[in-house]
């Protein structure tokens, strides 16, 4: 009886002082009132066994998602087919569906985060826009669609060898401009050919908070574990995120998450990346990673659904077919 009373008092004191107790015999935390198999992280602490806790000094307050769509071009700058070999609109719709599912999962677990989704569309046919609208009509999320006019950048972007490249640069610049003008905290730039796991956004946000709090700095987060990362034998640092390992990377495509603060800090890089086609395309974005930390997950949170042989495509150890079928919107 006395033992139980002292135990309860000890637990209360630990809670008041901000300490967590781990009962390894019962595999339970009496202060958190959770099994150790559960997610032990809360709004104030990121807890990963056996590494202990990280006080979350960097807390995310809002997320602006900029989803860039082009339903007319199968694969930009390539004469190849994507895995499963459907028309491009099918990839856009399943990508959007997976993104909405991930947003809903984030909202369920992180009600305190303000979320806004903006779609920047590049001259899709009316029939394809209706298909996009049909998916949006099934959700109550805060969503807007911008029908982008490439001509707004005709005096900014250099003339290109084809209209596809110009429109790609123009829609990307439009996304960056919106992020700079409307972003409050984090901004997620998303291309239209990624399938996202339901937990993707929640894991990205929680990992951002954990690592940013540890290093006391803003970071970049790429959601994909690209094949090229296993081809060059580059040195990397392995980090612990919320529920998986992450690695530092020096290159991404144009799907990544970062803070409004870093967008402002490196606005010249963001802007210059869109003025002309570079080699690689993301040249000025990648140069930022020489100064700031960019991480990608092991294993992937988002699947780039390109040609099966692409070094920036399918992530290893993913059930591609299941993820594709899970995001059937029909």
User: Is 214 in the same domain as 318?
Assistant: yes
- Within a domain: 50: no
Residue 2 in this model has a pLDDT that exceeds 60: no
User: Is 8 in the same domain as 121?
Assistant: no
- Within a domain: 316: yes
User: Is 92 in the same domain as 222?
Assistant: yes
Number of folded domains that form the chain: 2
Inter-helix orientation angle 88-109/200-215, to 10°: 60
What is the C-alpha to C-alpha distance for residues 74 and 85, in angstroms, rounded to an integer?
10
User: Is 23 in the same domain as 137?
Assistant: no
User: Is 30 in the same domain as 96?
Assistant: no
For residue 189, list its beta bridge partners.
66, 256
Averaged confidence pLDDT in the chain: 92
| CB-based contact 227:311 (threshold 8 Å) | yes
Which range of residues forms the domain containing residue 23? 1-37
User: Is 192 in the same domain as 72?
Assistant: yes
Percent of the chain topping pLDDT 90:
76
User: Is 31 in the same domain as 97?
Assistant: no
Rg of the chain taking only CA atoms, in angstroms: 22
CATH of the domain at 135: 3.90.550.10
Could you say which DSSP state residue 170 is in? H
Q: What are phi and psi of 111, to 5 degrees?
A: -65, -20
pLDDT digits (tens, 9 = 90+) for 234-291: 899 999 999 999 999 999 999 999 999 999 999 999 999 999 999 999 999 999 999 9
Residue 1 in this model has a pLDDT that exceeds 60: no
User: Is 23 in the same domain as 91?
Assistant: no
User: Is 285 in the same domain as 155?
Assistant: yes
User: Is 80 in the same domain as 27?
Assistant: no
Q: 104: closest CA among 168, 200, 34? A: 200
User: Is 127 in the same domain as 26?
Assistant: no
Element (H, E) at 63: strand 62-69
- Within a domain: 52: no
- Within a domain: 53: no
């Amino acid at each position: 009886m006395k033992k139980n009373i002292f135990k309860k008092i000890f637990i209360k004191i630990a809670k008041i002082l901000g300490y967590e107790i781990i009962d390894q015999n019962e595999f339970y935390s009496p202060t958190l009132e959770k099994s150790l198999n559960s997610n032990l992280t809360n709004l104030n602490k990121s807890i990963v066994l056996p590494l202990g806790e990280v006080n979350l000094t960097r807390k995310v307050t809002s997320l602006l998602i900029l989803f860039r769509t082009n339903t007319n071009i199968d694969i930009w700058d390539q004469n190849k087919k994507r895995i499963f070999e459907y028309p491009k609109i099918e990839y856009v719709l399943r990508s959007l569906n997976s993104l909405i599912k991930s947003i809903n999962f984030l909202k369920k677990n992180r009600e305190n985060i303000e979320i806004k989704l903006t779609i920047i569309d590049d001259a899709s046919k009316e029939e394809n826009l209706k298909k996009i609208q049909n998916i949006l009509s099934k959700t109550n999320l805060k969503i807007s669609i911008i029908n982008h006019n490439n001509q707004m950048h005709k005096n900014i972007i250099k003339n290109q060898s084809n209209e596809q490249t110009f429109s790609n640069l123009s829609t990307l610049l439009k996304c960056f401009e919106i992020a700079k003008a409307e972003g409050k905290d984090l901004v997620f730039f998303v291309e239209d050919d990624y399938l996202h796991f339901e937990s993707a956004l929640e894991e990205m946000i929680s990992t951002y908070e954990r690592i940013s709090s540890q290093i006391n700095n803003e970071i970049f987060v790429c959601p994909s574990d690209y094949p090229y990362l296993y081809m060059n034998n580059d040195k990397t640092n392995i980090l612990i995120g919320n529920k998986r390992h992450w690695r530092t990377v020096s290159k991404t495509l144009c799907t990544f998450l970062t803070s409004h603060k870093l967008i402002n800090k490196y606005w010249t890089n963001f802007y210059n990346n869109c003025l002309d086609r570079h080699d690689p395309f993301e040249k000025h974005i990648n140069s930022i990673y020489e100064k700031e930390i960019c991480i990608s997950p092991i294993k992937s949170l988002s699947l780039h659904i390109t040609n099966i042989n692409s070094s920036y495509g399918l992530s290893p150890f993913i059930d591609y077919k299941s993820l594709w079928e899970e995001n059937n919107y029909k």
